[in-house]
Amino acid sequence: MDKLSFFKSYIAIIDQGNLKNAADYLNITPSAVSKHLSKLERYYAADLVIRDAKNIRITAEGKIFYKKCKSVLTSLIDAEEQFMNSSQQSNSTLRITLPQVLSQGKFMDMLNSFSHNYPHVKLDIIVSNKNLDLLLLDIDFAFRGGKLTDSQMRSVKLFQASTLLCAPPNYSQQVPPERLLALINEKLLIPSYVNLSTLRLYLQKIGINKELSQFSAIDDAFSYKNAVLSGMGIGIFLDVFVERELKQGLLWHILEPHDFGYKSINFNMIYHKNIKLAKAQQLFKNFVSKYFDKNKWSTSNEHQSNE
């Protein structure tokens, strides 16, 4: 028994004065309205109206029932309006995950811009270099570098980051190229959270044949950057992670004897392709895509042109 439909029919009968007017109001047939009324009276074992040739008069039981029906439908309408309003305002929380190298700089500026434009959407941000399970951890979006390997996910390319070899100011920029290569061989710090096999091949290509195990290594991006900033050694960074330090002169980009472009990484926005996006998710996805379409940037080119 579809009680809500029957309640609506009963309210329309009383408000409109007869079956025909109620049917016109509800855009259904008079026979359907009559059936709804009969089923209600049988279900509750009560006469809700008194019918005559032209009019319908409500009974005492019908008056009580009418008020109850009105109350139920009014509560339902209020609940629907609140839900629709909150949905239209995207009043919800999105869980996103991103690696350490994106947890500062222009990428965080983008998230700040989203929050400023859509304050009703709260962001729950998980910073992790691991490929977290989006379904298991109820994560809406992941931002990751490299190729997508999970067939259950969709990937939207946002930007490309380049690899830079950087030194702090206590390492002179005036040394000749051959001395600089020896300095790299001696003072390079290895970020052990990167693809070491690719790094090993590149070092061999530029003439550094020392085993990676002979270099000092650090497995945390921020600790690694702080170690290089403190003068501990020469570092390997993605341009998006050290853009501000380069502009402030806290690091300088080593271009000789080889431009250290051993790897470029495409960063993507990833989400589950078999789950329909809710309004807040669609809002976020569209904002991020448009933001990076509009704000194309390549920090490595900026650094080279400024040196």
Digit-coded pLDDT (tens) for 141-196: 999 988 877 778 889 999 988 888 999 999 888 888 788 888 888 999 999 888 78
148 with 273, same domain: the answer is yes
Peptide bond into 168 cis (omega under 30): no
Domain boundary at 88, 105, 134, which?
A: 88
Q: Give the CATH number of the domain where residue 249 resides.
A: 3.40.190.10
CB contact set of 306 (below 8 Å; sequence gap of 6+):
247
Q: Is 226 or 265 the better-scoring residue by pLDDT?
A: 226
Domain boundary among 52, 72, 88: 88
Which one-letter amino acid corresponds to residue 285? K
C-alpha of 278 from chain center: 11
Number of alpha helices (DSSP H) and beta strands (DSSP E) in the chain: 11, 11
Q: What is the mean pLDDT of residues 110-116?
A: 93
> Whole domain around residue 82: which residue ranges?
3-88
Q: Is there a single domain that holds both residue 259 and residue 210?
A: yes
Backbone angles phi and psi of 222, in degrees to 5: -70, -40
Q: How does pLDDT run across 243-255, given as a tens digit for each residue?
A: 999 999 999 998 8
Q: Which two tokens stand for residue 185?
A: 């061989």
Which pLDDT score, from 0 to 100, does residue 53 have? 60
- Residues 251, 166 share a domain: yes
What does the pLDDT look like over 1-60, one tens digit per residue? 578 889 889 999 898 888 888 899 888 998 999 999 999 999 989 999 988 766 788 999
202 and 256 housed in the same domain? yes
Q: How many domains does the chain have?
A: 3
Assess whether 191 and 138 both reside in one domain. Answer: no
Q: What local confidence, expressed as pLDDT, does residue 279 receive?
A: 86
Highest mean pLDDT among 18-32, 85-99, 193-207: 18-32
Q: Please, which pLDDT band fits residue 81 given cuts at 50, 70 and 90?
A: low
Same domain? 289 vs 146: yes
| 279 and 256 assigned to the same domain | no
- Contact (CB, 8 A) for 183 and 207: no
What is the per-residue pLDDT for 226?
96
Contact 161, 98 (CB under 8 A): no
One-letter identity of residue 160? Q
Domain match, 179 and 149 both = no
CATH code at 31?
Answer: 1.10.10.10
In terms of DSSP bridges, do strands 264-272 and 216-218 run parallel, antiparallel, or are they unpaired? unpaired
Give the CB-side neighbour count of residue 295, counting CA atoms within 13 A.
12
Q: Is residue 240 within 8 Å of residue 101, measured between CB atoms? A: yes
Is 175 or 290 the better-scoring residue by pLDDT? Answer: 290
Which amino acid type is present at position 99?
P
What SS3 class is residue 271? strand
Look over the chain and give the mean of its residue pLDDT values, rounded to a whole number: 85
- pLDDT at 87 > cutoff 80: no
pLDDT at 217: 93
